[in-house]
Structure 1
């Protein structure tokens, strides 16, 4: 099957993206945040409690082609070197964005400043890094697609431009946002509140009152006679012990702060940039089932209340513009479910899966798989490009449904995507050449203060997911990571439970 088929999302994800994109574009709102002057400017106060405001700026962020997602074939012996260089590309973008955010006065006085001082030098650095990737691949006899060299140039995005979701067909789902984007219908020149993120989002347009959103959740495919209908729940806690780091062992092994944002970890307790398969087997687990050594991890949510978190001056935290109080989920349900069209095969040891895209704001929606909702609304409304404002007594819910089809051979791939795929949303059938595996689903519930979008465009009680700073803390960038590690035949027991239609825990 073609790549588009392999990227096909669950019906819930596809519907949520279309409807949420319509929300963000409806009522005069903007998906792209109107960008504040940086906290580093002398005329801007970095911490303004939970109602930060600052000077306006036209350029919002930097958008660079994602080289890693274009890599289809990297020889195994070159993967470490290539991963290191891909992490260098991420670091270069972050550094360029930080410079963009800290030089607003210079940009205002010199129209060529951004191109000459930021974007141009960034292209030169990226050109050299992509060439090192070519050398790493060719040195071990691999083939390098020279078209990748054309991905060095980056662009800037203004506040009223959009990559993520702007071209989605909304299927008639455009909805009124109940006034939750007030203060943003202004041609991209007036900013909503950034709630303590030092000029890096979220903005008013990133929030919507969920009670004003029309239902957008589709039904699931009908089960066939060969369906695998069981479920297996593993209880691994909520990371109450605050096991955090900003590494990214799947995408950037061996690179400290490869994620540029902080993760919550449950399950395996020895996950960092330098972990190996052997490390995972020795890592211990937070799961009640001691045979479940799998790594389950996701970016933290922070309350934008001006709190100086313990990582306020650290990589992944304040140094990467992720600020505010880290919130611990009140519930973290990890459940494996079956396939509506077939039996499942056991997950292979050390299988890696990333669902969603941490760079979906600039990359677009091809790999986006974020779901935001509220308790009491999950079966009716799922949001992708906005954070929900939940009614009193309701809590914020993040949910994830991972790719559930495996190529039967590889535990990872060069771009960490093509070895797994989503089943067809209408039938549940896997692409040709792929096998159904237990689908990992996760549900995270948070108690957050209710955000309030005020008449002047500020947001009181804002919250946001950690991310790469150039992604402006957009909800569409939410993602989840998983490495399957089991002992004692657990992988087979999970598959058998699901295939036999049982409810196991």
Structure 2
């Protein structure tokens, strides 16, 4: 499913590789092979068959996220390292598919010998290749091998639902197959909450006298031209199906895994102001049994992303100011990811999903889908990092070159305030609809916390100057 050529890049001087520490969960891999323990470490020997089946409901594969642990990789090594990281995503997806295929009969021996041990072996070999690629231009990183072992994580909401639904009968792991034989792997009923029961929770810092109050907006449509693919040019450049889930695109017309900066700069755009920037996010699907165009394709139905792709009712792209200072221009080809596509297994440190309903947007949800009342639309909002290190358009883990502002709106030392991108997307669904889900990596089970947005700045220098002037002068433009 993964693979594809990675374009060569010019040599850069050597740089040091830092492997960030990874805190293990309660489920651990021990020694040369993986020891199966779920995060809640239930004792299977003391449970009835029905209880064991319920406990296996919603099981998924959990691995340390190597990509975010590599805070610095020499520029020359990045193409090869990115390719190896993409292979690791495929290895996890394949292991998860083996777990799902076995279903309720996946006992601990099967999980250990057929899922976790082979996966750990594959990851160890891949990590060794990553270290070798880095060693060609810098010091060999230490500690990568500690990231090889994986565990099985249980979706507690799925297990509770399975136990409640059939306490005395075996329950199948995961969700039932959707129409057309496609496997549906979530979400669960407990992943939804009535927005009217959520208390207002939005707090914005006060704009000070030296702050920048303006807003610059781009109108780029709602993906009427059906620009879809399951690539991710930021995280997995040069790799087909790098995301393992389908993306919606607006703005730049040439965005795919193989689009270089030069390709993006010369491409057409759906934005009415000529902005060639690219904006993308996972599609939202109505899980109604519809066989979409990607029903039998990687990134789509073969990886559990099923149902009809929903076109947004509206897409608003706006750049806002900083509460305590003026903003500076973004560098061309700046790349920013907000949120974490693997937040269900990684934890919520980088999660930044924001779900709500029109008329209730002072109530934002991070880890639940909203149940919206009649006349109200589902809203997804991605509020991007607004502080930049002043040097880099990207970083090895695609995060450390940008940062969120502090609670008062100020940037940390050494960082500069840039226009803050907000992507706001709405969808019209039936009142209190529960049959929708965001596309995700297979093992992430379509959890709302995994939602994320991506952006590459391809504004012309002239347009970027206009945007910054507008924002700093307190006007609303675009």
TM-score, normalised by the number of residues in structure 2: 0.84
Match of 2:414 in 1: 433
Match of 1:95 in 2: 94
Match of 2:185 in 1: 200
Whether 1:121 aligns to 2:94 is no
Once the two structures are TM-superposed, the CA of residue 111 in structure 1 deviates from its matched residue by 3.0
Q: Deviations over 1:75-127 (max 9, x none)?
A: 111000000000000000001001110012541xx431110111000000000
Please give the residue correspondences for 1:46-57 in structure 2 after superposition, counting only pairs within 5 Å: 56=54
* Structure 1 residues 190 and 215, CA gap change in structure 2 (3 angstroms): farther
Q: Is the 8 A contact 2:250 2:280 kept in 1?
A: yes
Q: Deviations over 1:244-282 (max 9, x none)?
A: 000010010010000000000000010111110000011
Please give the residue correspondences for 1:298-337 in structure 2 after superposition, counting only pairs within 5 Å: 298-337=281-320
SS in 1 for 2:86: helix
Whether 1:282 aligns to 2:255 is no
* Structure 1 residues 70 and 111, CA gap change in structure 2 (3 angstroms): closer
User: CA–CA distance in 1 between the matches of 2:474 and 2:115?
Assistant: 57
* Structure 1 residues 129 and 96, CA gap change in structure 2 (3 angstroms): same
* Structure 1 residues 378 and 195, CA gap change in structure 2 (3 angstroms): farther
SS in 1 for 2:280: strand
Whether 1:465 aligns to 2:441 is no
Q: Deviations over 1:302-328 (max 9, x none)?
A: 001011111000111011110000000
Please give the residue correspondences for 1:172-251 in structure 2 after superposition, counting only pairs within 5 Å: 183=164, 196=178, 198-218=183-203, 220-251=204-235
Q: Is the 8 A contact 1:230 1:497 kept in 2?
A: yes
Whether 1:493 aligns to 2:477 is no
1:414 to 390, 396, 399: 396
Whether 1:398 aligns to 2:380 is yes
* Structure 1 residues 236 and 317, CA gap change in structure 2 (3 angstroms): same
User: CA–CA distance in 1 between the matches of 2:398 and 2:421?
Assistant: 17
User: CA–CA distance in 1 between the matches of 2:101 and 2:176?
Assistant: 15
Q: Is the 8 A contact 2:134 2:141 kept in 1?
A: no
User: CA–CA distance in 1 between the matches of 2:144 and 2:196?
Assistant: 45
* Structure 1 residues 282 and 448, CA gap change in structure 2 (3 angstroms): same
Match of 2:455 in 1: 482
SS in 1 for 2:97: helix
Q: Is the 8 A contact 1:374 1:396 kept in 2?
A: yes
* Structure 1 residues 470 and 260, CA gap change in structure 2 (3 angstroms): same
User: CA–CA distance in 1 between the matches of 2:342 and 2:259?
Assistant: 24
* Structure 1 residues 250 and 215, CA gap change in structure 2 (3 angstroms): same
Q: Is the 8 A contact 1:399 1:443 kept in 2?
A: yes
1:58 to 56, 62, 87: 56
Q: Is the 8 A contact 2:252 2:267 kept in 1?
A: yes
When structure 1 is superposed on structure 2, of 484-493 and 240-249 the one drifting more is: 484-493
- Which consecutive segments of 4 or more residues in structure 1 shift more than 4 A? 180-187, 189-195
Whether 1:255 aligns to 2:239 is yes
Q: Deviations over 1:371-390 (max 9, x none)?
A: 000000002x1111110110
1:135 to 115, 120, 132: 132
Q: Deviations over 1:211-238 (max 9, x none)?
A: 12222222x1111221011000100001
Q: Is the 8 A contact 1:252 1:258 kept in 2?
A: yes
Q: Is the 8 A contact 2:153 2:345 kept in 1?
A: no
User: CA–CA distance in 1 between the matches of 2:55 and 2:326?
Assistant: 54
RMSD (Å) for aligned C-alpha atoms = 2.4
Once the two structures are TM-superposed, the CA of residue 143 in structure 1 deviates from its matched residue by 3.0
Once the two structures are TM-superposed, the CA of residue 56 in structure 1 deviates from its matched residue by 4.8
Q: Is the 8 A contact 2:339 2:351 kept in 1?
A: yes
Match of 1:4 in 2: none
Q: Is the 8 A contact 1:183 1:190 kept in 2?
A: no
When structure 1 is superposed on structure 2, of 57-66 and 416-425 the one drifting more is: 57-66
Q: Deviations over 1:289-347 (max 9, x none)?
A: 11x10000000000010111110001110111100000000100000000001000001
User: CA–CA distance in 2 between the matches of 1:87 and 1:159?
Assistant: 25
User: CA–CA distance in 1 between the matches of 2:64 and 2:165?
Assistant: 28
User: CA–CA distance in 2 between the matches of 1:249 and 1:154?
Assistant: 26
TM-score, normalised by the number of residues in structure 1: 0.80
Match of 1:111 in 2: 108
Q: Is the 8 A contact 2:373 2:432 kept in 1?
A: no
Q: Is the 8 A contact 1:195 1:202 kept in 2?
A: no
Once the two structures are TM-superposed, the CA of residue 185 in structure 1 deviates from its matched residue by 11
* Structure 1 residues 113 and 193, CA gap change in structure 2 (3 angstroms): closer
* Structure 1 residues 132 and 67, CA gap change in structure 2 (3 angstroms): same
Structure 2: gaps of 5 or more residues: 1-38, 41-52
